[in-house]
Amino acid sequence: MSFRFKLHVILLFWLCLEVYSAPRKPRLSVADDTYSTYFLRNIKGSPGTYSYGYDISDPVSGNIQFRSEERYSNGTVVGSYGYVDAVGIPHTYRYVADENGYRLFIYIYMSNVLHNYTNSF
């Protein structure tokens, strides 16, 4: 087969293809910026400091989560994040990052009992 013949076959095949995109799903309601969020920097005139966070509670998708973080002028970063899983159990993670490394404190509430797990990295 010649090169021109192969090229014609490829072009014919390409022209005959009917391309369909995947069906679009409706956007989550959180995509409409209906959740609270904040971001501040250089807090009280201290360069390099910041504070930010958000809370999401979307009844349409069942998505419940949050995050907040602060950086102090000495470089220490503290924060927390969490979510409510599919069966309704809240999971909370708090962390500290400083000259001693990254430390994570995990809180999981199951049957009204707090389970506390601590990890250092």
Domain that holds residue 95: 29-120
Q: Does residue 100 form part of some domain?
A: yes
Residue 19 lies in a domain: no
Task: Flag whether 103 is in a domain.
Answer: yes
- Looking at per-residue pLDDT, the higher value among 27 and 74 belongs to 74
Is 24 inside a domain boundary? no
User: 37 has which bridge partners?
Assistant: 54
- Domain membership of residue 3 (yes or no) is no
Q: Which of 2-11, 16-25, 89-98, 100-109 reaches the highest mean pLDDT? A: 89-98
Range with top average pLDDT, 16-30, 31-45, 82-96: 82-96
What's the number of domains the chain is made of?
Answer: 1
Q: What is the mean pLDDT of the chain?
A: 75
Instruction: Read off the pLDDT band of 79 (50, 70, 90).
Output: very high
